[in-house]
Chains A and B, each alone.
Chain A
């Protein structure tokens, strides 16, 4: 898969956020005895599984590793898409936290929803990893540029004296 294809397919990932559906949330949320009947459907669970697979097989496996992969504009684009998706995921968890209304030890009374949320937590961690990885690529690239631009060569003794000055 080419880098452009990766970027293109990654953009499409945003549409998966539409599957973060809570069709019955208005009527099903209950705070009684700290048990929340927060439900979702099998379709959303399936989508969360597809999203995990997509992140592993399309994004993480194809993260840039070689100097020949270094296309700064493309990586900035991937980073922006990652950031957008990170915001969507975080917003979803914020929404759920708000439903809980700051209660502690809340139990969710729906097996499909629990699986869905567990998958989405993994998605959240994978996206955080991708974001950090791409950031490091750009940071090291900038460090390389700085080294070429204003780097100096020292013997250790000379460097040590300057560092201690």
Chain B
């Protein structure tokens, strides 16, 4: 089991969003159990090393294996993250 590190702001955001989007909390649990299993690489260092989809949202995070800790950093709309990461700028 990994510990979870997060800021007060992110805690508040998860708490608020978790009411309407319980899959968000389920995904946080999955991250604590086996982060590598659900992690997807962003390939853009500035946006954290990994993300995971959680319903309509995506969570950006880093993993510190030595500390057995997942550093949850940011939650955003999944569609926005995927558009930015894919670089598919022009709408079809």
Q: Is B5 a contact of A136 with CB atoms below 8 Å?
A: no
User: Which A120-165 residues have C-beta < 8 A from chain B?
Assistant: 122, 125-126, 129, 132-133, 136-137, 139-141, 143-144, 146-147, 149-156, 159-160, 162-163
Q: Is B47 a contact of A156 with CB atoms below 8 Å?
A: no
Instruction: Indicate whether B56 reaches chain A with its CB closer than 8 angstroms.
Output: no
Closest 3 pairs between A and B when the two form their complex, measured CB to CB: A156-B32, A146-B7, A143-B74
Given A129-B89, A153-B69, decide whether A147 and B7 contact each other with a Cβ distance below 8 A.
yes
Contact size range, A: 20 to 34
* B7: contacting residue among A70, A132, A149, A159, CB under 8 A: A149
Helix, strand, loop or mixed for chain A's interface?
Answer: helix
What's the nearest-Cβ distance from chain B to residue A83, in Å? 17
Q: Is B28 a contact of A156 with CB atoms below 8 Å?
A: yes
Interface residues of B (CB under 8 A from A): 1, 3-11, 14-15, 18, 25, 28-29, 32-33, 44-48, 60, 69, 71, 73-74, 76, 80-81, 83-84, 87, 89-91
Q: Is A163 a contact of B25 with CB atoms below 8 Å?
A: yes
Bound-complex Cα distance A29 to B25 (A) = 57
Interface residues of A (CB under 8 A from B): 60, 64-67, 69-70, 122, 125-126, 129, 132-133, 136-137, 139-141, 143-144, 146-147, 149-156, 159-160, 162-163
Given A65-B44, A66-B46, decide whether A152 and B29 contact each other with a Cβ distance below 8 A.
no
Given contacts A67-B45, A151-B5, 12 further A-B contacts (CB under 8 A): A69-B46, A129-B87, A133-B84, A140-B73, A143-B9, A143-B60, A150-B7, A151-B8, A152-B5, A154-B3, A156-B1, A162-B15
How many contacts A-B (CB < 8 Å)? 101
Beta-carbon nearest neighbor of A66 in chain B: B45
Bound-complex Cα distance A67 to B5 (A) = 20
Bound-complex Cα distance A66 to B10 (A) = 23
Q: Is A140 a contact of B60 with CB atoms below 8 Å?
A: yes
Q: Is A136 a contact of B84 with CB atoms below 8 Å?
A: yes
Neighbouring B residues of A136 by C-beta, 8 Å = 47, 76, 80-81, 84
Q: Is B47 a contact of A122 with CB atoms below 8 Å?
A: no
Bound-complex Cα distance A146 to B60 (A) = 14
Bound-complex Cα distance A162 to B6 (A) = 13
* A125: contacting residue among B60, B84, B90, CB under 8 A: B90
